[in-house]
């Protein structure tokens, strides 16, 4: 039996969020303009930190072990831990410089450039109708607004889509055969580097390490897309806009448009996989686009269109804008949670799960629930083969499952590591 190890690269859903929220309230952060919540993550940071998934060091040296300085309680690298290399600038505030410095724009030593046709009495064009002057000529034509979506060629690795002129990155893993593909999105947790998350998304027991999903191991070719966040902070979001979707839903729609324009996608086999804050956003996306996904996977996540789960948040400053579920929409969810230690600073995801199960039942969702005891981490006992078996049994418009997949662990007869699963059919 190979020992399972919690993924030490994962960050809790709300690390430092309590301090951020309270600090924002104390300083009036909504009007202070201290942090640009829409700032893009530096691509060089992500590429340098994750130049090769294959070079990712093995995590831990035994059951439930983590590298020095990590905590195997409320999630690896929990609250109070210093961020890993490449993450320390998550809340960096650009220094605008001192106002009035000589030689700086707007400073004491700077002068505005002369404008032809201005009010200079020595200018022969002054007042003669020159567009730049004060003679009242027609203004120069304004540039047209950027298109809502502008696609660029999608390649293996990093690609870019422009949403209202703003570039957004995403990472792509292609199968060998691109003639017609299923599609899976991977949404990372708060403060995680997207490519690190994708490179350590599933545990490989024989190898004893976390690794990426294999796009060639699914029953049909599988395109895997890992979106990049915009470093949103509370109360606006957690990397992702988990409050109401906003620009991240537009970003998702833009990726879908560009992917469809360039590739043949089986629209009945589109899946969404999220962890922590990424699971919350994936759940929100499924609420906003209820007829899009064949099935979704939510690991240590929550649904904030459920008043019971909203009450689990210890600091109530967010005004959630989630749409209500329509039970007639149906849907299937693979839900994992990490036991009493699945706690992330201001919310117990274990408690949230206990509220989520009856909520999803009443919302007409079919749930496969898997419980482990590793805390706030991906479930290390679910293998790639298990995920793919569960995903393949769901397609858009198809019937929901009526029981657990044969390979899944079941209490008490077949427990794998610390994980056992329970099937909750829709009404």
- State the CATH number of the domain containing residue 391: 3.40.50.1820
Cα–Cα distance between 341 and 348 in angstroms, integer? 8
Contact 295, 271 (CB under 8 A): yes
The DSSP code for 400 is P
The answer to whether the bond into 235 is cis (omega within 30° of 0) is yes
Within a domain: residue 413? Answer: yes
| pLDDT given for residue 281 in this prediction | 98
Cα(181)–Cα(188) distance, integer angstroms: 22
Residue partners of 113: CB distance under 8 A and separation at least 6: none
- From first to last of its 427 residues, what are the pLDDT tens digits of the chain? 344 556 644 544 444 444 444 444 333 333 333 233 333 444 444 444 444 343 433 323 233 322 223 333 333 333 333 333 333 332 222 333 333 333 333 333 333 333 433 444 444 444 444 444 445 677 777 788 888 999 999 999 999 999 999 999 999 999 999 999 999 999 999 999 999 999 999 999 889 999 999 999 999 999 999 999 999 998 899 999 999 999 999 999 999 999 999 999 999 999 999 999 999 999 999 999 999 999 999 999 999 999 999 999 999 988 999 999 999 999 999 999 999 999 987 899 999 999 999 999 999 999 999 999 999 999 999 999 999 999 999 999 999 999 999 999 998 888 888 999 999 999 9
Does residue 166 belong to any structural domain of this protein? yes
- By DSSP bridging, strand 222-227 and strand 166-173 are antiparallel
DSSP β-bridge partners for residue 210:
203
Asked whether residue 97 is domain-assigned, the answer is no
CA torsion sign for 288, 297, 184, 425 is negative
The pLDDT of residue 414 is: 86
Alpha-carbon distance values, 43 to 47, 199, 258, 314 (Å): 6, 16, 20, 34
In a domain, 208, yes or no: yes
Domain tally, the chain = 1
Residue 173 domain-assigned (yes or no): yes
- pTM for this structure? 0.73
User: What local confidence, expressed as pLDDT, does residue 412 receive?
Assistant: 83
**150 CB-near residues (< 8 Å, 6+ apart):** 161, 162, 165
Residue 155 lies in a domain: no
What is the structure's pLDDT at 5?
Answer: 53
Tokens 């024989």 locate to 206
Q: Which domain holds residue 176?
A: 160-424
Does residue 409 sit within a domain?
yes
pLDDT of residue 264: 98
Helix (H, G, I), strand (E, B) or coil at 298: strand
- Residue 361: the pLDDT is 98
Residue 178 within a domain: yes
- Please state, in angstroms and rounded to a whole number, the distance separating the CA atoms of residues 283 and 305: 10
């Amino acid at each position: 039996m190979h020992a399972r190890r919690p993924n030490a690269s994962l960050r809790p859903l709300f690390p430092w969020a309590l301090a951020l929220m309270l600090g924002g309230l104390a300083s009036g952060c909504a009007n202070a303009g201290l942090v640009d919540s829409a700032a893009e993550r530096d691509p060089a940071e992500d590429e340098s930190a994750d130049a090769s998934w294959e070079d990712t060091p093995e995590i831990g040296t035994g059951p439930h072990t983590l590298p020095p300085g990590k905590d195997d309680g409320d999630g690896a690298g929990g609250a109070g831990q210093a961020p890993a290399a490449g993450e320390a600038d998550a809340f960096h505030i650009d220094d605008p410089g001192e106002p009035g410095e000589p030689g700086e724009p707007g400073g004491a030593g700077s002068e505005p450039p002369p404008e032809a046709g201005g009010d200079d009495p020595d200018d022969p064009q002054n007042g003669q109708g020159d567009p730049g002057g004060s003679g009242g000529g027609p203004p120069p034509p304004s540039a047209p607004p950027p298109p809502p979506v502008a696609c660029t060629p999608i390649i293996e690795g990093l690609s870019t889509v422009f949403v209202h002129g703003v570039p957004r990155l995403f990472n792509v893993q292609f199968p060998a055969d691109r003639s017609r593909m299923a599609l899976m999105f991977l949404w990372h947790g708060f403060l995680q580097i997207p490519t690190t998350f994708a490179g350590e998304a599933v545990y490989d027991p024989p190898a004893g390490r976390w690794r990426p999903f294999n796009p060639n191991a699914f029953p049909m070719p599988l395109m895997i897309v890992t979106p990049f966040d915009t470093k949103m902070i509370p109360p606006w979001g957690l990397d992702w806009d988990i409050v109401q979707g906003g620009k991240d839903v537009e970003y998702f729609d833009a990726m879908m448009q560009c992917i469809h324009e360039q590739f043949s996608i089986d629209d009945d086999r589109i899946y969404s996989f999220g962890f922590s804050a990424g699971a919350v956003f994936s759940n929100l996306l499924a609420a906003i686009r209820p007829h899009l996904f064949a099935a979704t996977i939510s690991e240590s996540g929550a649904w904030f269109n459920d008043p019971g789960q909203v009450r689990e948040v210890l600091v109530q400053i967010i005004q959630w804008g989630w749409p209500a579920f329509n039970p007639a929409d149906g849907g299937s969810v693979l839900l994992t949670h990490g036991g009493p230690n699945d706690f992330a600073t201001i919310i117990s995801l274990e408690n949230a799960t206990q509220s989520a199960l009856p909520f999803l039942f009443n919302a007409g969702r079919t749930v496969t629930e898997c419980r482990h005891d590793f805390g706030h981490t991906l479930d290390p006992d679910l293998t790639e083969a298990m995920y793919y078996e569960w995903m393949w049994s769901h397609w858009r418009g198809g019937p929901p499952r009526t029981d657990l997949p044969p390979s899944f662990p079941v209490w008490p007869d077949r427990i794998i590591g610390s994980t056992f699963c329970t099937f909750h059919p829709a009404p």
